[in-house]
């Protein structure tokens, strides 16, 4: 009969956890789970998707006459579940910082109420994203197909919800919500990015949008586009400085084609077109065009700026 050294492995894992907590100055006292739950958030977001789009992302047997009842019941359950996760993040944040703990329960309730109040506006933004995808893709036969099938729209649903959590001072919850979509679609949108209405990600796999990116309205990007940082400044001790603006500003009506890499705090002007596979680290004026030209002469003849 095959046996395993379960007791020894359990003890070794215990020692490893204890050593990590000691190094991180964490309490070794027994207690409840201190972190938000990824699985719990996944269930909450699934319910919220059904709240935002009940007849398309809600239960398969839902009828319009019971739509409001479903939304009310599901929203109430989702918000109560979210409240528990918000408490965990706020308690965790308080444990990491010295000073007054504050009223975690009251702060959590305020945050969840603000989040709930923002859902109608989030739905309106998502409607603009769905419509942009339908109008921007000749293969799309209906807005319903776009909502049900397009990975870019799924990523935007998660982003819009995550961005509100981020604005409410809940970056860990926001990041988990965003990463759920990243895992499912290959689209990595940091919840701190600012994205205007009518944003369309076509195909989507490999798209990366950094924390301090600012994107205007009616912007369209294709697969494998990166809006990233060019460099990471460090402080005097060699630690990376957090929160500095380091990602691009993309103004309204810009199109960025597949494989383009746009780096640093540069501005892509309104109506500009960035060609595929371009490596871009400088500003582009409004209406400008940047492409990988076959030759400098060809680029100049066609009025295209070579990257």
CATH of residue 173: 1.10.3130.10
Q: Is 19 part of any domain?
A: no
**Integer Cα distance of 237 and 240 in angstroms:** 9
Are 163 and 211 found together in one domain? no
Are 146 and 134 contacting, i.e. CB atoms less than 8 angstroms apart?
Answer: yes
Are 181 and 39 found together in one domain? yes
| CA distances to 155, 206, 305 from 275, in Å | 23, 16, 10
**Integer-rounded Cα radius of gyration of the chain:** 23
Are 281 and 215 found together in one domain? yes
Q: Is 22 part of any domain?
A: no
Q: Is 23 part of any domain?
A: no
**Integer Cα distance of 269 and 199 in angstroms:** 16
Are 49 and 138 found together in one domain? yes
Q: Is 179 part of any domain?
A: yes
Q: Is 65 part of any domain?
A: yes
**Integer Cα distance of 147 and 194 in angstroms:** 22
Half-sphere exposure of 189 (CA within 13 A, CB side): 34
Are 54 and 129 found together in one domain? yes
Are 220 and 254 found together in one domain? yes
Classify the phi-psi angles of 253: left when phi > 0, otherwise alpha if psi is within -120 to 50, otherwise beta.
Answer: left
Are 174 and 229 found together in one domain? no
Are 180 and 218 found together in one domain? no
Q: pLDDT tens for the chain, 307 residues: list them.
A: 888 999 999 999 999 999 988 887 766 454 566 789 999 999 999 999 999 999 999 999 999 999 999 999 999 999 999 999 999 999 988 877 644 567 999 999 999 999 999 999 999 999 999 999 999 999 999 999 999 999 999 999 999 999 999 999 999 999 999 999 999 999 999 999 999 999 999 999 999 999 999 999 999 999 999 999 998 777 777 787 787 899 999 999 999 999 999 999 999 999 999 999 999 999 999 999 999 864 344 444 444 454 5
Q: Is 39 part of any domain?
A: yes
Note down the domain range covering 57: 34-187
Q: Is 147 part of any domain?
A: yes
Q: Is 76 part of any domain?
A: yes
Are 158 and 88 found together in one domain? yes
Are 251 and 216 contacting, i.e. CB atoms less than 8 angstroms apart?
Answer: yes
Angle, helix 151-167 to helix 104-136, in steps of 10 degrees: 150
Which DSSP category does 240 fall into? B
Q: How many domains does the chain have?
A: 2
CATH number at residue 220: 2.160.10.10
**Integer Cα distance of 218 and 242 in angstroms:** 29
Listing DSSP states for 31-73 in one string gives ----SPPHHHHHHHHHHHHHHHSHHHHS-TT--GGGHHHHHHH
């Amino acid at each position: 009969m095959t046996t395993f050294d379960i007791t020894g492995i359990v003890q070794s894992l215990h020692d490893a956890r204890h050593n990590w907590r000691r190094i991180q100055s964490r309490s070794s006292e027994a207690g409840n789970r201190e972190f938000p739950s990824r699985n719990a958030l996944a269930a909450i977001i699934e319910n919220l998707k059904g709240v935002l789009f009940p007849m398309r992302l809600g239960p398969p047997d839902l009828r319009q006459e019971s739509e409001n009842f479903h939304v009310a019941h599901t929203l109430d359950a989702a918000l109560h579940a979210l409240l528990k996760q918000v408490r965990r993040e706020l308690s965790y944040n308080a444990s990491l910082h010295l000073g007054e703990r504050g009223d975690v329960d009251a702060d959590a309730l305020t945050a969840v109420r603000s989040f709930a109040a923002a859902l109608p506006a989030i739905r309106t933004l998502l409607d603009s994203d769905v419509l942009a995808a339908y109008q921007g893709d000749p293969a799309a036969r209906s807005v319903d197909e776009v909502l049900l099938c397009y990975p870019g729209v799924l990523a935007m649903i998660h982003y819009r919800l995550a961005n509100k959590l981020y604005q409410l001072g809940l970056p860990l919850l926001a990041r988990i919500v965003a990463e759920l979509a990243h895992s499912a679609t290959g689209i990595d949108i940091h919840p701190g990015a600012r994205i205007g209405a009518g944003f369309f990600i076509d195909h989507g796999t490999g798209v990366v949008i950094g924390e301090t990116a600012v994107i205007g309205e009616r912007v369209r990007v294709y697969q494998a586009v990166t809006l990233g940082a060019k460099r990471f400044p460090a402080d005097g001790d060699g630690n990376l400085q957090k929160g500095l603006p380091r990602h691009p500003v993309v103004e309204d009506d810009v199109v960025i084609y597949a494989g383009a890499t746009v780096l640093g705090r540069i501005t892509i002007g309104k109506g500009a077109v960035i060609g595929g596979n371009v490596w871009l680290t400088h500003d582009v004026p409004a209406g400008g065009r940047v492409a990988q030209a076959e030759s400098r002469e060809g680029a100049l003849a066609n009025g295209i700026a070579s990257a």
